[in-house]
Structure 1
Amino acid sequence: MLPVISLDGLIVLDAIDKKGSFSAAAESLFRVPSALTYTIHKLESDLGVKLFERKGQRAELTSVGQLVLRQGREILVAATRLEDAVKQLETGWESTLTLAIDTVVPNLPLLKLIGEFTDLGKQVNINVREESLGGPWDALYSGRADIAIGVTGEVPTGQYQIAEIGTLEFVFAIMPGHSLAQFQHPIPSEALLQFPSIVVADSSTALAQRSSGLFDSRQIIRVPDMQTKIKAQQLGLGVGYLPKHLIREQLVNGSLVACEMEMPRPSQSLFIAWRKGCQGKAQSWFTERLPKCDWQI
C-alpha cells in the first residue's frame, strides 16, 4: 500500500502552522491560498481525519494534526538530509568516512582536524575506531576503514598510498621500587624471565595477528590498548616497553621509571595509509592534512 501523505502535503502543513494562516503560508511558499486549501483538503480526505480547525482568519491544528506535523517534520528533515547527501555524492563527497587510529597515536590531533572538517558544513558522517598492532592495516584491508593512522611494520606496496607521520621511540618503563629498577647497569634479557610481560592484543580480524615487543617472560598479560598497558605497568602487574611520547608525564612525576636494557627495542616509523583508486573528496581532504598534523610523537 502506497502512503497517502506526500512531502508536499507535509511542507504545506508545516508552513500553515508556522505562519498561522493559509494566506500567510501561501505567500511564504509563493503559491495562491486556494492551492494550499486544495492540498490540505486532499490530505484530510486521504487520511480520513480533520487536521485544522478554522477560527476566523487563523487555522489551528487539531490533536491529530499536531501528531501528523510532529512526525512529518522528522520526515521532512530526513528528506532534506537525503537530498543533500545525493547532491554531495554527485559532486564527489562521500556519505561516510571511517578512520582507524592505532592506540599508540594520540587522538587529540585527529579530533581537532575533525573539528575543522565539520566547519566545512559537508554532510559526511565520520567514524573513528581504535585499533592495535596490525589492526589499522587489517581495518584498511577488510574495508572497516578508509584511512589507517599509525600503521607500522612492513608496508605493502601497490594498492596503498602511505605518508609518514612520525617515529615511535620505546622506553622500558616500570613502577618505582620494582626489583629491576635496582640494576646499576643495563638489564640483561634473561632477568625479564622472572616477571610477567604486559602486551597489547592485536585487533586484527582478517590478517595474521602480530606480536610486538615480546620477550621471554614468566607470563604474558594481554590488554586491549596502550593506555591499559601503561596503567598495568604503573601498578606493577608486569613489565614491558612503552612509547616514550605517551609516558612523558609519568616519567616526570615518577609513577614510571625508565631502565636501560642490554637489547633496547628499535624505533619504528609510523604512517598513515589509504587505498588507491577509491578516493572521495572527504578522504582527499583528510589525507592531505593528516601528515601535516602535529602528532606529538
Structure 2
Amino acid sequence: MVSPISLDALQTLDAIDRRKSFAAAADELFRVPSAVSYTINKLEEDLGVELFDRTRRKAELTPIGRLVLEQGRQILKASEELTALVSQAKDGWEVELRICIDSVLTCEPVYDLIESFQRIQPKTEIRLSEEVLGGSWDALCDDRCDLVIGAEGVSPMPGFSIHSLGEVEFKFAVAVDHPLTELATPLPSSAIQDYPIVIVADSSQHSPARSMGLLDGRSRIVVPTIKHKIEAQCKGLGVGYLPYHRITDALEEGRLALLTLETPRPPEEISVAWRRGNSGKGLKWFVERLQQMTLDPKRGLQSADN
C-alpha cells in the first residue's frame, strides 16, 4: 500500500501550522495559495479525514491533523538528516566511524581527539569499543571496527596499515600491605606461588585467545579489563604485572608497591592499525593525529608537543 502522505504534503502542513494561514504558507513555499489548498484538500480526501477546522478564521488543525503533523515532523526531520548523511558520504566523510581502544590504554587521549574532530565533522557518529589483547586485532579482522588504537604485537593477517606508538612497560605490582613486600628482592618465581594471580582475559571472538598477567601462581582471578586488574591488585586480591603508565597515580597515592622479579617481563610494542583501502576522511583525520602521538612509559599516550 502506497501512503498518500508525501514529504511535500507534510512540508505544506508544517508551513501552514507555523504561519497560521494558507496564504502565508504559500509565500514561504513560493507557491500560489490555490496550490497549497489543493495539496491539503487532496491529502484530506486520500486519508478520509479533515485536517483543518474550517469553521475558524485562522488555520487551526483538528486533533487528527495535529497527530499527522506531530508525527510528520519526525519524518521531515529524518528526511533532512538522511539528506545530510548522503551529502556527507558523497564528500568522503563516514556516517559512522568505529574506533577500538585496547584495554592497555586509557580513553582520555582519544576523548581529546574526538572533541577536536567534532568541531570539524559533528555529523559522523563515533562508536567506541574496548578490547583486550588479541581481541583488538580480532575486531579489526572481523570488521567490527575501522581503527584500533593500542593493538599489541604483530598483525595476525595481512591487509592492514600499522603505525607503532611505542612500547608499554610492565611492572610487577602488589598492594602496599601485601606480604610479598616484606621479602627481599628480586623475588624468585616460587615466592608468588601462594598468592592468586590477577589476569586479564583475552576478548577475542575468533582468534586464539591469550591472557595478560600469566605467572606461576597456584590460583587465578580472571578480570575483563586492565582497569579491573588494577583495582583488584590495589585491594590486595592478587598480584601480577601492570602497565606502568596506568599505575603511576596508584603508586604515588600509596595504594600499590612495585617489586622486582628475577625474570622481568619485557615491554610490549603497541600500534595503531587500520584496514588498507579505507579512504574515509574521518579515519584519515584520526590516523594523521595519532601518528603525531607517542607512548610515554610513565604518562601513557601523549601528543608530540607535550
TM-score band, normalised by the shorter chain? Answer: over 0.9
In 1, Cα distance between equivalents of 2:48 and 2:284: 52
Change in Cα spacing, 1:66 to 1:121, as seen in structure 2 (3 Å) is farther
Q: 1:43 to 1:294 in 2, by over 3 A?
A: farther
Describe the superposition over 1:244-269 as per-residue Cα deviations: whole angstroms up to 9, x where unpaired: 11111110111111111211111112
Calculate the TM-score normalised by the size of structure 1: 0.95
Alignment of 1:161-172 (within 5 A): 161-172=161-172
**Counterpart-to-counterpart distance in 1, 2:114 and 2:45:** 48
Unaligned runs of 5+ in 2: 301-306
Could you report, residue by residue, the CA deviation over 1:88-141 in whole angstroms, capped at 9, with x for unpaired residues? 222222221111111111101111211222222453221101100111100000
| Distance in structure 1 (CA, Å) of the matches to 2:162 and 2:188 | 37
Structure 1 counterpart of 2:109, which letter?
Answer: P
- 1:37 corresponds in structure 2 to 37
Distance of 2:56 and 2:293 partners within structure 1: 63
| C-alpha distance in 2 between matches for 1:103 and 1:227 | 8
Calculate the TM-score normalised by the size of structure 2.
0.92
Once the two structures are aligned, what percentage of the paired residues are identical?
47
CA distance in 2, matches of 1:55, 1:191: 92
Q: Deviations over 1:11-47 (max 9, x none)?
A: 0111111111111111111111111111111111111
Cα distance in structure 2, aligned partners of 1:185 and 1:215: 17
Aligned-residue CA RMSD in angstroms?
Answer: 1.6
- Paired AA for residue 7 in structure 1: L
CA distance in 1, matches of 2:176, 2:123: 50
Cα deviation, 1:227-257, whole Å, max 9, x if unaligned, reads: 1111111111110011111111110111111
In the alignment, what sits opposite 2:274?
A: 274
When the two structures are aligned, how many residues end up with a matched partner?
297
Please tell me whether residue 207 in structure 1 is matched to residue 207 in structure 2. Answer: yes
**Is 1:126 paired with 2:120?**
no
Residue 109 of structure 1 contacts residue 293 of structure 1 at CA under 8 Å; is this kept in 2? no
Q: Is residue 23 of structure 1 aligned with residue 34 of structure 2?
A: no
Q: 1-side partners of 2:223 and 2:279: how far apart?
A: 34
Stretches of structure 1 that go unaligned for 5 or more consecutive residues are none
CA distance in 2, matches of 1:249, 1:196: 23
Q: Tell me the residue number matched to 2:239.
A: 239
Say whether the 8 Å CA contact 2:93–2:281 is kept in structure 1.
yes
1:249-290 deviation line (CA, Å, top 9, x unaligned)? 110111111111211111112111001012312211221122
